[in-house]
């Protein structure tokens, strides 16, 4: 029989710990976010629809993005048992320099429209975390101001080759003068993809006010206050603004870019040169053979050609062809630290996060970006420890199986 007695207050209070109230709303909501998906939900509540959809959406039916995320979900890990991993080391070397984590922040355009701290928050958070930050040609903070926000960290620059080549050449020279150490030559945007959410929302720079826009903004007065009381939103490294996003990209991009342009930029650029937007094994091999410093397997986050190859599916075949010594990176669909661990195990040297970073930015500015990085870091450390590996170098293909529901149909 169990002995019954009246509760003793001293014992009860030993079991109960009342959390002190936190009156800082931003800190409270960010601490409650345990995953990138949690940050996404906060971002959606706090950001007008057009800005949120620009981040969240992709091209046409958004099939490429859905497939990329499914590819990461359809993996099986194979942990080693009785191999303690008590001190997990997440550091690596990428493109001639150190990184505290095996990922960096991807280039994103129009970033201050999502939240007014924009690239300044991203660059500062990246520098604090010891990871690279990549500024987009269509960034809303200038090359020079990104350097000021991240003076001791690693800054990379993503380049679009425009119809007016001199504009692109000028950006290359400015990035070099500002001490950016890596240039990402982007090849997957000869024209703009059909981003239907943006078209339906009338998304543009600067934002165009419509009755629908105003109604959607009423529950989000903080966003409009920030937008109206901070410097004008513009493409900070360029001079032309106005018109829809698709119209601007269409006028800026050039479908005639070629290997000759790559060679020209390579001759101009003093640092490491990476080609971003590689989507076939043949192109990966050709570029590595031409001596580029690295490639990024990417379908532009699913925002260009819908139903394009999934970078994570492409990764093992590319690594087998070019060798594990080549610098192969990837992006698209990364939403969990486990996605990054699986990529490294299959041969990627590095990953880039775009939407995951922007969800944090929209959820809480610089502190939100810090939170996104912290979430991914904790997931990486936990996954590695559960796999029984203490360093990234210990990760091998045997640790991961890709479970493909989208296997090709043979004739």
Which of the residues are catalytic? 300
**Interhelix angle 49-56/355-387, nearest 10 degrees:** 40
17 prior amide bond cis, ω within 30: no
CA angle centred on 349, ends 348 and 351, rounded to 5°:
75
Contact 384, 79 (CB under 8 A): no
- Chain centroid to CA 183: 16
What does residue 316 show for φ and ψ, rounded to 5 degrees? -60, -40
* Residue 89 structure tokens: 């080391």
- Cα–Cα distance, 345 to 283 (Å, whole number): 22
For the range 116-121, what are the long-range contacts, defined as Cβ-Cβ under 8 Å and sequence gap of 24 or more? 116/226, 116/227, 116/230, 116/365, 117/361, 117/365, 117/366, 118/361, 119/145, 119/146, 119/149, 120/145, 120/146, 120/149, 120/366, 121/361, 121/365, 121/366, 121/368, 121/369
- Cα–Cα distance, 373 to 131 (Å, whole number): 10
Element (H, E) at 294: strand 294-297
């Amino acid at each position: 029989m169990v002995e019954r007695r009246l509760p003793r207050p001293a014992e009860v209070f030993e079991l109960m710990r009342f959390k002190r109230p936190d009156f800082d709303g931003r800190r409270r909501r960010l601490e409650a976010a345990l995953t990138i998906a949690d940050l996404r939900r906060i971002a959606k509540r706090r950001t007008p629809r057009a800005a949120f959809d620009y981040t969240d959406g992709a091209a046409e039916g958004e099939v490429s993005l859905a497939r990329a995320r499914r590819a990461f979900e359809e993996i099986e890990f194979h942990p080693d048992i009785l191999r303690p991993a008590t001190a997990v080391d997440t550091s690596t070397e990428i493109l001639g320099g150190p990184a505290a984590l095996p990922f960096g922040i991807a280039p994103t355009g129009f970033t201050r429209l999502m939240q007014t701290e924009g690239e300044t928050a991203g660059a500062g958070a990246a520098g604090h975390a010891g990871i690279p930050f990549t500024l987009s040609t269509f960034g809303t903070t200038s090359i020079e101001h990104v350097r000021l926000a991240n003076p001791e960290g690693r800054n990379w620059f993503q380049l679009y080759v425009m119809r007016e080549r001199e504009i692109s050449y000028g950006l290359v020279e400015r990035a070099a003068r500002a001490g950016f150490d890596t240039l990402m030559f982007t090849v997957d945007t000869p024209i703009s993809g059909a981003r239907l959410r943006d078209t339906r929302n009338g998304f543009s720079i600067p934002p165009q006010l419509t009755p629908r826009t105003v109604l959607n903004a009423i529950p989000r007065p903080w966003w409009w206050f920030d937008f109206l009381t901070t410097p004008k939103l513009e493409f900070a490294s360029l001079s032309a603004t106005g018109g829809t996003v698709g119209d601007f990209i269409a006028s800026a991009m050039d479908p005639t870019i070629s290997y000759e342009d790559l060679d020209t930029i390579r001759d101009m650029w003093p640092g490491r040169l990476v080609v971003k937007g590689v989507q076939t094994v043949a192109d990966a091999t050709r570029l590595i053979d031409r001596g580029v410093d690295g490639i990024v397997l990417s379908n532009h986050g699913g925002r260009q050609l819908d139903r394009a190859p999934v970078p994570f599916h492409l990764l093992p075949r590319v690594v087998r062809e070019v060798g594990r010594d080549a610098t192969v990176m990837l992006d698209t669909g990364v939403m969990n630290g486990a996605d990054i661990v699986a990529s490294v195990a299959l041969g990627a040297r590095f990953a880039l996060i775009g939407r995951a970073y922007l969800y944090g930015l929209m959820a809480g500015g610089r502190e939100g970006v810090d939170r996104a990085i912290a979430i991914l870091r904790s997931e990486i450390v936990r996954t590695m420890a559960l796999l029984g590996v203490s360093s990234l170098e210990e990760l091998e293909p045997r640790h991961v199986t890709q479970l493909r529901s989208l296997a090709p149909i043979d004739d």
